[in-house]
Amino acid sequence: MPRLAAAAPAAALAEAVVYYGDQSLPKEPRTAFLVLMRKVGGSLAAKSDAGLIADARLVCTDLGNDKKSGAILSMLNARNLDAFDSHLMVLLAAQYRCQSHINRATQPMVTALNQSSATN
């Protein structure tokens, strides 16, 4: 059976798509971001609002400074997020906290999908 994509990036992208445009989310981006973090569960739901906002701020700063995705994911891992939650944090932080960086945030997922399809 062919492998579709690297598990964590593909799963995070799928999760983000499920919640994208959720009409039940608050209209204010910061509040929507926090509500969404509670909906996805796992270690993200267990973090405090301040911790989630701090993680998102770090992600947005790193994206703005053109840090490589591996460095951003390593930073989030050091902040006690697993691979899936780290990828999801990058996607949702960009979507709700720094939309000008959404293309940089999605690039690792696109790369993972492209590499996977090239090897199948």
What residue has token string 């945030």?
105
Residue 2 inside a domain? The answer is no
Q: Could you report the per-residue pLDDT of 5-48, keeping only the tens digit for each?
A: 467 776 777 777 777 777 888 889 999 999 988 888 788 888 99
Domain encompassing residue 33 = 28-119
Burial 23-36 (b: 16+ CB within 10 A, else e): eebeeeeeebbbbb
Residue 12 inside a domain? The answer is no
d(CA 4, CA 96): 27
Question: Mean pLDDT of all residues in the chain?
Answer: 84
How high is the pLDDT of residue 2?
Answer: 43
pLDDT, greater one: 14 or 74: 74
Mean pLDDT of 92-101: 93
d(CA 88, CA 114): 19
| Confidence label for 4 from pLDDT (cuts 50, 70 and 90) | very low
When divided into structural domains, the chain yields a total of 1
Residue 43 inside a domain? The answer is yes
Residue 97 inside a domain? The answer is yes
Q: Give the global pTM.
A: 0.82
Residue 20 inside a domain? The answer is no
Residue 10 inside a domain? The answer is no
Using the predicted structure, report yes or no on whether residue 109 has a pLDDT greater than 90: no
Residue 22 inside a domain? The answer is no
**Are 59 and 93 in contact, with CB atoms under 8 Å apart?**
yes
d(CA 120, CA 4): 8
How high is the pLDDT of residue 106?
Answer: 86
Three-state secondary-structure class, residue 44: helix
Residue 15 inside a domain? The answer is no
